[in-house]
Amino acid sequence: MASSKGGGMEKMSVEQLKAIKEQTDLEVNLLQDSLNNIRTATSRLESASTALHDLSLRPQGAKMLVPLTASLYVPGTLDDARKVLVDIGTGYFVEKTMDEGKDYCERKINLLKSNFDQLIEVRLELPNLKHCMSWYIGFKQLRHVVQAISRMERPIKYNYKSNRSKGMFLHPHNYTN
C-alpha cells in the first residue's frame, strides 16, 4: 500500500506504522468473523442439500415435520416433492425443481468453500505481516534513540587522571564538561 509511493515503510513515522498495525489487527478480526460466517453458511447449505435428498425419497402425501426454525417443527403433508422453494436471500424465495434446488445448493457450497480457502491463505500471511510491522516499529524507535544520542553536543567525560592518586573515581566532582 505505501510501497507504491516509492518510500514504503522507511518514510513512515512510528505513529503511522502503529496505525497500520492497529488497522491490520482490526482486519484480522474481520477476517476471522468472515471465516466463521462462511463456515455457518456452508453448514446450513449442506443441511439443506441433505434435506432435499431426503425429501426426494418420500412419496407424495407423506406425513412429516416441517421446520419453521432450527428448534420449532410443525406437522405437515408432502404435496409435491418435485418442486421446492429456494431461499435466495433477504426474504426472497424462488420455486425450482428438486434437481435445480440440489444444484443451487451444491454451487453455493462450492463457492463458499473456494472463498473460505482464499481467506485462509490471507489469514496465514497476516501473522507474518504483524510480526514484520512490530519488528520495524521497534527498529525505527531504536534508530530514533540512537540518532538522539549521537546528536548530543558534548558527552560527559570522566577526568580520571587528576584524581587517580587520591582514589576518588566515583565522586561527582571527578567529572568534567
Task: Measure Cα distances from 64 to 52, 53, 74, 99 in Å.
Answer: 14, 15, 8, 21
The per-residue pLDDT for range 93-133, each reduced to its tens digit, is 999 999 999 999 999 999 999 999 999 988 888 878 878 88
**Integer-rounded Cα radius of gyration of the chain:** 34
Q: Identify any residues that bridge with 96 across adjacent strands, giving them in sequence order.
A: 84
Cell 564538561 belongs to 177
What pTM value is reported for the model?
A: 0.63
The answer to whether 109 and 46 are in contact (CB under 8 A) is yes
Asked whether residue 22 carries a pLDDT value surpassing 50, the answer given is: yes
Between CA 163 and CA 3 the distance in angstroms is: 57
* Angle between helix 14-56 and helix 98-150 axes, rounded to 10 deg: 170
What pLDDT was estimated at residue 118? 92
- Cell numbers for 37: 460466517
Task: Measure Cα distances from 47 to 43, 56, 99 in Å.
Answer: 6, 14, 16
Which of these CATH numbers, 3.30.160.20, 1.10.287.370, 3.10.20.90, 1.10.357.10, describes 11-176? 1.10.287.370
142 or 76: whose pLDDT is higher? 76
